[in-house]
Amino acid sequence: MGTRSLQRIGIDGFDRNSTPVPAYAILNPHGEAMIDPTQLPILLKAIDFVFEEGRKILEERRERRKMNDNPPKSENQEPAKEIPLPELEMEKANEIKQNLLASKIDELVWQNHELEVQHLVRLLEKYSRNYYLAREQYAAWGSALVPPIIVHNMAESENSMLETIKRLEDILSKVYKKDIIPNR
């Protein structure tokens, strides 16, 4: 080993001229840094909003609309047979979520989208808080006496969440370089 190689390689054995890579990154076969999503709390939060919180609120919205649109049935009518579609969708969503958590992402792509993901997650947190506040007020008044402003606030929070989740899904699709919502 000559003096030239001793200058490049430090006492700890690492090459001083190489690009620094974060401790949570690994290299793909092309030498690019890849990040484990479980090491990025904001990415985990974004995935949870897309697959957990957002889906739950949208399901509540569907149920409420179904209750408001369908008048009460008489006892003579046979209840409609339920299709286990939501269970199938939930199973597929959980599978996609686990696949995303197990996938590695390109560090450069993540850096390009990190601030936007943070912004969208903050918006989703705000809309979620607004939704739960409006839902509590809705429940306190009862569905027959609820003031229109509360219904409006609840619908506005739901619509804002839906739009923001779609934007977040698009960005996560870019980060993961695959469509995370295949049925869209």
166 inside domain:
yes
**How far, rounded to the nearest angstrom, does the alpha carbon of residue 43 sit from its chain's CA centroid?**
8
For residue 123, what pLDDT is reported? 95
Q: Is residue 99 part of a domain?
A: yes
Return the pLDDT at 53: 83
Q: Is residue 73 included in any domain, yes or no?
A: no
Segment-wise mean pLDDT, segments of 10 residues, the chain, 184 residues: 47 49 47 63 86 83 78 46 55 82 82 92 94 92 88 92 92 87 58
In a domain, residue 45? The reply is yes
Question: What single-letter amino acid sits at 136?
Answer: E
The reply to whether 135 falls in a domain is yes
Q: What is the residue range of 50's domain?
A: 39-68+93-176
Q: Are 146 and 139 in contact (CB under 8 A)?
A: no
Position 161 in a domain: yes
d(Cα 10, Cα 16) in Å, to the nearest integer? Answer: 7
In 3D space, the residue among 92, 102, 89, 91 whose CA is nearest the CA of residue 44 turns out to be 102
Residue 170: inside a domain, yes or no?
A: yes
Report yes or no on 110 lying in a domain: yes
- Look up the pTM and report it: 0.67
Give pLDDT tens digits for 15-35.
454 444 444 444 455 555 667
| Total tally of structural domains belonging to the chain | 1
